[in-house]
């Protein structure tokens, strides 16, 4: 029985056909946008939440207003999905382009849409040790627009880099669909930070796909601090022995916002480790979602993987939804998951206030302490300072 299509789905079908992505258009026409019946979208019903899609973006001029100030960073800019002319990249960084989308085809509507709408992707190859932070600014400018863009990043054997992606734009009801495909060579080391700072009227979707070879080490940090509707889907794949991932994320959610971080990690070979850690802070009638699924393949013996989500509600109306999952096919593993949620500790709050600290300041201090675990491991001081600035900005915007 065919599904009943809404205005958003009709627009998406038209946009996909205009780009020659007829198969993806047919999929939307047949299945529609995901509802609560789709497990990975159970708490983020796109058919309900995404009622309208603006027109596909037109080319726009560069806007020299950095979304995040990271001292000494090398800056790249994508405006309305198009990479603009850049300065000379640091030694060890090679820029290029790839035709079409970059994500692995899978049963996910956001992935299908990105692959169908992206005409050309930006590629980065990292070789050697790159000390300078690479900052990639995604901007959507002008009136409300729909933008799909993509990056393909390869970190060569033994290479080291820090890459920061920011997402922002003009104050309009934009819809952004962003993709990052990241492959780490043997013993490569990468820190990858993505930060949504889009205006409240915008909807932000991102897909981060990671492939780790032997001995590769990955640290990620996803921060949602802007859009009214935000969802980042993480797909780490541990494909080489001794690969390790510290996959982390943070939902900063205020009144009326809906932020979702979903992870589907696969440990494919023996002797891999991961420690996913996610945190959510909600106030007003904000809603935060964290879903984490760890899959351990049959041959992936000696896997050590532990998932944790911690939520902090700053109002009685706030909502935090968490769903950790383990799917284990090997029999010699150490795996676990946990999820906690609550309000600020009353004893700690009373202690600070008894020392003469005003209640509002005491609450802010406790929240900072709750979040420190996510920012502390960031080694670049300028980047860590900028991330603290994002958190402080959210805390002060009451």
- Is the pLDDT at 370 greater than 80, yes or no? yes
**Average pLDDT of span 37-41:** 93
Beta strands 134-140 and 160-169 are parallel
**Is 16 domain-assigned?**
no
**Is 234 domain-assigned?**
yes
**Is 368 domain-assigned?**
no
- When mean pLDDT is compared across 65-74, 76-85, 274-283, 360-369, the lowest value belongs to 360-369
Residue 355 — very low, low, confident or very high, per pLDDT cuts 50/70/90?
Answer: confident
pLDDT of residue 84: 82
**Is 377 domain-assigned?**
no
- When mean pLDDT is compared across 25-29, 61-65, 393-397, the lowest value belongs to 61-65
Tell me the pTM.
Answer: 0.95
**Is 53 domain-assigned?**
no
Beta strands 273-274 and 319-328 are unpaired
Tell me the two tokens of residue 242: 């001794």
Residue 210 — very low, low, confident or very high, per pLDDT cuts 50/70/90?
Answer: very high
pLDDT of residue 271: 97
Total of domains in the chain: 1
d(C-alpha 52, C-alpha 47), whole Å: 10
Residue 350 — very low, low, confident or very high, per pLDDT cuts 50/70/90?
Answer: confident
**Average pLDDT of span 98-105:** 95
d(C-alpha 210, C-alpha 234), whole Å: 8
Render pLDDT for 278-314 as a digit per residue (tens, 0 to 9). Answer: 999 999 999 999 999 999 999 999 999 999 999 999 8
**Mean pLDDT computed over every residue of the chain:** 93
CA distances from 233 to 90, 243, 321 (A): 30, 20, 16
- Is the pLDDT at 321 greater than 80, yes or no? yes
Render pLDDT for 120-149 as a digit per residue (tens, 0 to 9). Answer: 999 999 999 999 999 999 999 999 999 999
Residue 254 — very low, low, confident or very high, per pLDDT cuts 50/70/90?
Answer: very high
**Average pLDDT of span 369-380:** 91
**Is 56 domain-assigned?**
no
**Average pLDDT of span 60-68:** 74
Secondary structure (3-state) at 314: coil
Q: Work out the number of other CB atoms within 10 angstroms of the CB of residue 151.
A: 23
Residue 64 — very low, low, confident or very high, per pLDDT cuts 50/70/90?
Answer: low
Please state, for a pLDDT cut of 70, what percent of the chain lies above it.
98
**Is 296 domain-assigned?**
yes
- Is the pLDDT at 345 greater than 80, yes or no? no
Who's near 336: CB < 8 A, 6+ residues apart?
305, 306, 307, 326
Range of the domain at 276: 63-343
255 within 8 A of 293, measured Cβ to Cβ: no
Cα angle, residue 193 at apex, residues 303 and 156 outer, rounded to 5° = 65
CA distances from 32 to 48, 55, 101, 232 (A): 11, 19, 21, 20
Render pLDDT for 10-22 as a digit per residue (tens, 0 to 9). Answer: 999 999 999 999 9
- Is the pLDDT at 1 greater than 70, yes or no? no
The residues that bridge with 323 in the sheet, in sequence order, are 291
- Is the pLDDT at 225 greater than 90, yes or no? yes
d(C-alpha 244, C-alpha 271), whole Å: 9
pLDDT of residue 279: 97
Beta strands 82-83 and 74-79 are antiparallel
Residue 342 — very low, low, confident or very high, per pLDDT cuts 50/70/90?
Answer: confident
pLDDT of residue 351: 75
**Is 352 domain-assigned?**
no
pLDDT of residue 173: 96
């Amino acid at each position: 029985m065919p599904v009943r299509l809404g205005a958003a789905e009709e627009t998406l079908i038209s946009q996909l056909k205009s780009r020659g992505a007829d198969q993806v258009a047919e999929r939307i026409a047949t299945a529609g946008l995901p509802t609560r019946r789709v497990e990975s979208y159970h708490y983020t019903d796109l058919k309900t939440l995404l009622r309208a899609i603006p027109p596909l973006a037109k080319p726009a001029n560069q806007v020299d207003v950095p979304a995040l100030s990271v001292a000494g960073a090398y800056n790249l800019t994508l405006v309305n999905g198009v990479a603009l002319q850049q300065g000379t990249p640091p030694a060890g960084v090679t820029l290029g382009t790839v035709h079409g989308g970059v994500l692995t085809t899978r049963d996910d509507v956001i992935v299908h849409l990105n692959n169908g709408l992206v005409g050309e992707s930006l590629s980065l190859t990292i070789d050697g040790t790159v000390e300078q932070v690479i900052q990639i600014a995604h901007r959507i400018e002008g009136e409300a627009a729909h933008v799909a863009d993509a990056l393909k990043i390869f970190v060569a054997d033994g290479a080291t880099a820090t890459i920061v992606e920011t997402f922002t734009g003009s104050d309009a009801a934009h819809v952004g669909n962003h993709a990052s495909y990241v492959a780490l060579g043997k013993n490569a080391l990468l820190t990858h930070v993505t930060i949504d700072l889009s205006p409240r009227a915008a909807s932000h979707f991102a897909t981060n796909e990671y492939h780790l070879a032997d001995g590769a080490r990955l640290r990620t940090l996803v921060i949602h601090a802007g859009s009214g509707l935000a969802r980042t889907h993480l797909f780490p794949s541990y494909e080489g022995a001794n690969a390790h991932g510290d996959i982390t994320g943070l939902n900063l959610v205020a009144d009326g916002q809906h932020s979702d971080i979903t992870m589907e990690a696969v440990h494919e070979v023996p002797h891999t480790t991961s420690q996913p850690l996610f945190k959510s802070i909600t106030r007003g009638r904000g809603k935060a979602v964290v879903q984490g699924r760890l899959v351990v393949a049959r041959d992936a013996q000696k896997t050590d993987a532990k998932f944790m989500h911690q939520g902090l509600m700053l109002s009685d109306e706030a909502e935090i939804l968490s769903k950790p999952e383990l799917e284990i096919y090997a029999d010699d593993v150490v795996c676990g998951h946990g999820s906690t949620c609550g309000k600020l500790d009353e004893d700690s709050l009373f202690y600070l206030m008894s020392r003469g600290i005003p209640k509002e300041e005491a609450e802010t201090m406790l929240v900072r302490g709750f979040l420190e675990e996510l920012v502390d491991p960031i080694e670049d001081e300028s980047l860590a300072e900028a991330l603290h600035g994002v958190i402080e900005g959210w805390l002060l915007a009451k």
